[in-house]
Chain A
Amino acid sequence: MLRWLPEDVSTFGQDIDSLFYLIYYITGVTFILVTVLMIWFLIQYRHREGRRATYTHGNTTLEIIWTVVPAAIFITLSFMSVSTWARVKRNAPDSDYELGVTGKQFNWEVAYPGPDGKLGTDDDVKFDNDLHVPVNKVVRVHLASRDVIHSFYLPNLRLRQDAVPGRTILVWFEATKPGKYELPCSQLCGFGHSGMKGWLYVHTPEEYQKWAAENLAPKPQ
């Protein structure tokens, strides 16, 4: 099996990758089939002295086959992807870790609930471009944008979602391995787009406690 995708550290990554590889192999086989057939036709039916063209009205059986087979493949793939889509995009599980991420030209503004434990209030703790989460925990991200459309993209977590101004979109992920993973903006958002990049830090439980105690605890007055 080819391994061209970035390392998968997401709980739903395997679902997405297997769909990707399935489609990849179907199109790969089709591509080879069509190319071989075309080369064979070029040689088989090349110009030869004395051979005349023949007229064909078509072949109904063949036409039905090459219409029905792709249609069946498309319909099967659609049904297969519906459940994955629902799992990734529709049914976000409950979580103790709720974050706000707001795209703005050209930063990701990351907000953690303050001492009141609620997101979106004045005491939120905010960071630019750095997202710290614990490993093996569901993290819910409330995604918004302040100016233009940005796209929240975590390739290692197989998660991508546009942040659209005027609405808040809920996404979720659960990282399975501690590490530092890139978080680029993947929708053209202006002249600074190529430099709009954040980092996702996935911590072990102890490390996360330590980080939270240092950064999220209420500051002494």
Chain B
Amino acid sequence: MSDTVAADAAHAAHAHHEELGFLRTYVFSTDHKMIGRQFLFLGLLMLLIGGTLAMMIRWELAWPETAVPGFKWIPEPYMYDGIIPPQTYNALFTMHATIMIFFVVMPIMVGCFGNFLIPLMIGTRDMAFPKLNMLSFWVGAVAGVVMLASFLVPGGPAASGWTAYATLSAKAQYTGVDWGQDLWIISLMILGVSSLMGSINYITTIVNMRAPGMTYFRMPLTVWSLFITAILLLLALPVLTAALAMLLFDRTLGTSFFLPEGGGEPLLWQHMFWFFGHPEVYILVLPAMGVTSELLSPFSPGSFGAIICS
């Protein structure tokens, strides 16, 4: 019996070295480096879109009410022969901020650097849950598709700012945006699940899979920063997801969590949103600080760069 098990294990180990097909290598990969690259390319693709929106905002500020070159094809009432109306301007800065924060900085700094560097820097072969890792990326990609789809629905995309303060965001009549805001909410809820899977994976990997001798105090600062980021994500994101669910219910099911006419409280949204929003700024900046301190020490011998940035 035990021979069979041993043989199976040997077979499995052998099979592991077999060449994987295109799909398993590049698309549905469980390899942490490939998933890291996937997050990088998702982030870079969204950077182009978010950056274009920023250029349009800047164009409007520099030359108000003149046609943005190359955007004459966008139909009325979203743009008038390339000219940005107020409603679209609100949508532009809302979507620019949302895309840059959730689909550029987070995938690149947390998704890409986290997946690529953690196993290499703590001395293990891969993340603790490779399949969960793959799922985390693909759920994130679906969230991206939903967010981009909101550009195509009647009424245009969300226009209540990236903080989506209720009651402005809680009723379609206040912004004139119906489906766009709903898709914004749904997309961020899906992305929340993706980030949650990622953070559980990072924490488990760092706690359990460090190479012998890699104590917490010997762990590189980059890994420390990603570790703290993952803990913050785990604690902060479910609160945002809960708030988004309540907002979606207010918009679609007739509840009144944030609407005073039904006994709700608009400030509740702000409390819940900033319970997420405050840690979020550290989620965005910590990996960058970790990488910076990591790079400072070898490139400036004799300095104590590592201490300054920690």
A residues within 8 Å of B by Cβ? 41-42, 44-47, 51-54, 56, 58-59, 63, 105, 147-149, 164-167, 187-195
Contact = CB atoms under 8 A, between A and B. Distances in A.
Nearest to B168: A148
Contact of B301 (A42, A52, A147): A52
A85 to B, nearest CB: 18
B307 interface: yes
B2 interface: no
A187 B261 CA distance: 21
B267 interface: yes
Interface stretch (B49-57, B68-76, B158-166, B274-282): B158-166
Given A56-B307, A192-B86, A148 B174 contact: yes
Interface string B137-167: 0000000000000000000000111000111
B176 interface: yes
Contact of A51 (B161, B175, B265, B302): B302
Nearest to A192: B86
A51 B301 contact: yes
A51 B266 CA distance: 61
Contacts of A105: 174
A166 B302 contact: no
A191 B92 CA distance: 12
B94 to A, nearest CB: 9
Interface of B: 85-87, 90, 159-161, 165-168, 174-176, 260-261, 264-267, 297-305, 307
Nearest to A53: B301
A191 B176 contact: yes
Nearest to B302: A45
17 contacts: A45-B300, A46-B300, A47-B300, A47-B301, A51-B301, A56-B304, A58-B304, A59-B307, A147-B167, A164-B266, A165-B260, A167-B260, A190-B176, A191-B86, A191-B159, A191-B175, A195-B86
Nearest to B301: A53
B167 A165 contact: yes
A163 B159 CA distance: 20
A91 B176 CA distance: 39
A32 to B, nearest CB: 17
A191 B300 CA distance: 51
B300 A41 contact: yes
Nearest to B267: A164
